Structure 1
Amino acid sequence: MNTFSLALANVRALRRRLFGLVALVSVAAAVCLGALGIAARAQGATDTGVKESSANRSITVDKPDGRPDTPQLTDRTAARLAKLPHVESVQHRAQVSFGVLTETGDTVLLYATTHRPALTPPVTKSVRKNLFPLRPGELVAPAAAQGVDLSNLVGQKIDVETTRYVRQGEGTGVTGKARLVGVYDPTWQLDNPGAAYAADDTVIEWAAQRSGEPVDSYVSTIGYDQLTVVAKTAADVPAVMESVQRLGYPAVTLQQQLEALPAVLEMIRLVGQVLLGVLGVLAFVGAVTVTGALSRQRAQEIGILKAVGFRTRSVLMLVTEMALVGAVAALIGAVLGAALGSGAAALLRGSADLAPYVDGWVPLPSAPTLLLLLGLTVLVVAIGSLAPARRAASMSPTDAMKDW
């Protein structure tokens, strides 16, 4: 019988004694693999979903107030910006105030706003899954505004009041109907507090009505109050912003609000390294402890083996046994890690903010990383058993058998 066969037979015979080590290493490996898998998915989603998201590639261009030499943000300006190098699209925003009349007699002041795909609000309640683009006569408002809860009005037609221009400094109220098809988290205020999204035609019609300008010529004369220039890649954003600013327009980028992103990614990597270190320490200490105890308990067996002619290196089958135990523990840990990661991912997907960063039902590290971690688990357990096995192998047959 060779050393490997003997070690395998011993592992089977001593499986109850080895249960503690297998459980320790398996649980440690499962926790680390599950956490590393989620961290890897989060990092990947951050790299591809956040860094290259349209929001992170967007540049906000405001009206050039106080700059008479710079054209307003008309449709001609939007077309000019769209021709700049590395620009993917230009999305416009127009806003106009209107009132919502509630059943209690309250009037809530909101701002009808055109929707920009690059900056979609976080909808919390809606009448259908895909709200945008909105249909004429539809509104998506904040869930609460000016102390009034609007979420219970979703799906209903509500009374709205707009303003029609009469003469300079004077207007008259115009009542109408609109259907509230959704509400969003009111803490999201990239389009200012009280923004209520509506179809482009609706917003332009209300804005032209308020200004006294014909609807057909509104976007070519008065224009929009803001444009969003979307670069082709995140790396193109600085160059595109510089081109926009050279044209005389005030421009800022959302990338400036994500400066902490590299630190977050580095934290994810650090957590993974710490977890890997914890796994190594637990496996090493467990192997040293269990192998030392087994070598003391099996001193008589070692003495008999040496007495019948086994060489010292053959007695080091204890290391082979621990390597087999480490392999079994690593495989069990991989299965448990997959289950743990899947459960944690399912919980995280319950949060609208975290769901985009946890894709896949079984979030495990990449195949090379997984194989490397499993191999390191086996190696660390085997190395941890080396010192106790060497001490046992160095015993003389007389000392090993004196109590037999």
Structure 2
Amino acid sequence: MWRWAWLTWRRSDSSVRSTLGLLVILTILVSGLASVTAGARSAVERDVLHSGGLTQIELSSIETGRSVRSLDTASLDQARGIEHVAEVVPDYVSSIYTGTRDPAAPTFDLTTHSWRPSTRPSITRGEVPQPLQPGQIVLPARSAGVDFTRYVGKEFPAAYTRATGERSGTPEHTTFTVVATYDPEWQLDGPDTAYVSPEAAATLAAAKAGMPPERYRSTTGATSAVVSVTEQQYVSTVAQELQQLDFSAAPVTDRVRNLPGVLGAADLGYRVGILVVLAIAVLTGLSNARSSIRSRLSELAVLRILGNSVSGLRRILLGEALLTGLLAGVLGSAVGIGGALLLRGPVEGLLGLEVPVTSMLPNPLWGTAAALTPLLGLAIGALVGGRVALRRDPYLLTRRQT
């Protein structure tokens, strides 16, 4: 059966091979959706649902709807005074750059942010203490061709700008202890970002603005802040109270736009997609089996003369369907998962979370189902279609027509 099936399958005008493209495309869509959903769900469960994100609220000083309020010292103190608020960590944005003329020193220009409870990059070396101290810094593992991992545990010279006029400034020099480096593919705050303590971040931002840190905090204020709530059940209440005080406040889980619910819909989507692929494969197998027999009547008659039984002809049709289904499932799944891996960066940007490559692999059960569905559907269609179309012997039908 397999020898004849392979020979007839290779003939484009006598096999179900013409259906290969359609089934491959459908399998790519299903397996790709399954992979993207798996990766997104893994990231959300790890970094949001299981890592304190359920008890965090983000404040922004930029208008994001009807609520807007600057995050100066007085405002943040008011937020800290709300019942069930455990901590408020502000984010101040500035920059540091090469702090020495030593030709052996790295050349860099990094944006600085406060290390916040919602900051959870993939650490490649070292360990981030809780809380991060003013003299400590977390750097990307690589930036602009510089490998910063070799500075972990060492003193790191840097410079920052202190404004001396409206459009003038002078460099100030300082040193940090590099406690850890993180995977630069994680870019919640953009590329080339260094993380320091909120106190250090405020000092750098104040110097760039040309004012003392306390004055900067009380006038300009932070660009954003993270509010930690004592228990998840109080997040909604605290968020509403913050909004009533004209803060731009949103639970961290809203940053992923209710993604758990979206992921549930996506889960349902690729399950329904598998059923759609199965239905189309069955109908395609049924149609191709019947049309193939009509177009190859004389060929099948020759096979009967050579000793093949009618049931043997049905097995040849089944073999063609199995070969096509197997190729469609394997090729479609491989391309679909590969395409999903290429989308890992955009998914990370959408979520603001790290999505490891391994988490992009779909559930083994559903991944296997997606790969085998075209094979199963075509096999069912070929069996039914072949049984119906070969109710009469092709040899006898050919003799009547001649």
TM over 0.5: yes
- Asked whether 1:49 is paired with 2:43, we answer yes
Unaligned runs of 5+ in 2: 62-67, 164-168, 349-354
SS for the counterpart of 1:160 is strand
Aligned equivalent of 1:92: 89
Aligned equivalent of 1:389: 390
User: How far 1:40 moved relative to its partner?
Assistant: 0.8
Aligned equivalent of 1:291: 293
Residue correspondence of structure 1 range 35-46 to structure 2 within 5 A: 35-46=29-40
- Asked whether 1:116 is paired with 2:106, we answer no
Matched residue type, 1:326:
A
Contact 1:158 1:177 in 2 (8 A): yes
User: How far 1:202 moved relative to its partner?
Assistant: 3.7
User: How far 1:260 moved relative to its partner?
Assistant: 10
Aligned equivalent of 1:308: none
When residues 317 and 44 of structure 1 are mapped into structure 2, their CA distance, relative to the original with a 3 A threshold, is same
Q: Distance in 1 between matches of 2:282 and 2:328?
A: 13
Q: Distance in 2 between matches of 1:232 and 1:288?
A: 67
Identity over aligned pairs, percent: 16
Q: Distance in 1 between matches of 2:230 and 2:109?
A: 37
Residue correspondence of structure 1 range 28-177 to structure 2 within 5 A: 32-33=26-27, 35-50=29-44, 53-54=47-48, 59-62=57-60, 65=69, 72-74=75-77, 77-78=79-80, 80=82, 83=84, 90=87, 92-95=89-92, 97=94, 100=97, 112-120=112-120, 128-129=124-125, 132=128, 136-138=135-137, 140=139, 152=146, 154=148, 157-161=156-160, 175-177=173-175
Deviations 1:231-290 (A, max 9, x none): 899999766532432465431456666559759959975987886677566545543443
Deviations 1:58-80 (A, max 9, x none): 53224785899x95324x84485
Q: Distance in 1 between matches of 2:246 and 2:27?
A: 52
Matched residue type, 1:378:
A
- Aligned positions, number: 354
SS for the counterpart of 1:41 is helix
Aligned equivalent of 2:381: 380
Q: Distance in 2 between matches of 1:23 and 1:233?
A: 59
When residues 53 and 153 of structure 1 are mapped into structure 2, their CA distance, relative to the original with a 3 A threshold, is closer
User: How far 1:385 moved relative to its partner?
Assistant: 3.6
Matched residue type, 2:378:
T
When residues 90 and 331 of structure 1 are mapped into structure 2, their CA distance, relative to the original with a 3 A threshold, is farther
Q: Distance in 1 between matches of 2:70 and 2:299?
A: 89
Which piece of structure 1 moves more, 260-269 or 173-182? 260-269
Alignment equivalent of 1:241, drawn from 217, 222, 239 = 239
User: How far 1:362 moved relative to its partner?
Assistant: 7.5
Alignment equivalent of 2:8, drawn from 15, 18, 29 = 18
User: How far 1:350 moved relative to its partner?
Assistant: 8.2
Contact 2:157 2:173 in 1 (8 A): no
Unaligned runs of 5+ in 1: 1-10, 145-149, 165-170, 306-313
Q: Distance in 1 between matches of 2:202 and 2:4?
A: 80
Q: Distance in 2 between matches of 1:188 and 1:376?
A: 43
Matched residue type, 1:175:
H
Q: Distance in 2 between matches of 1:272 and 1:91?
A: 46
Aligned equivalent of 1:7: none
CA RMSD of aligned residues (A): 6.1
Q: Distance in 2 between matches of 1:119 and 1:15?
A: 58
Q: Distance in 1 between matches of 2:101 and 2:299?
A: 83
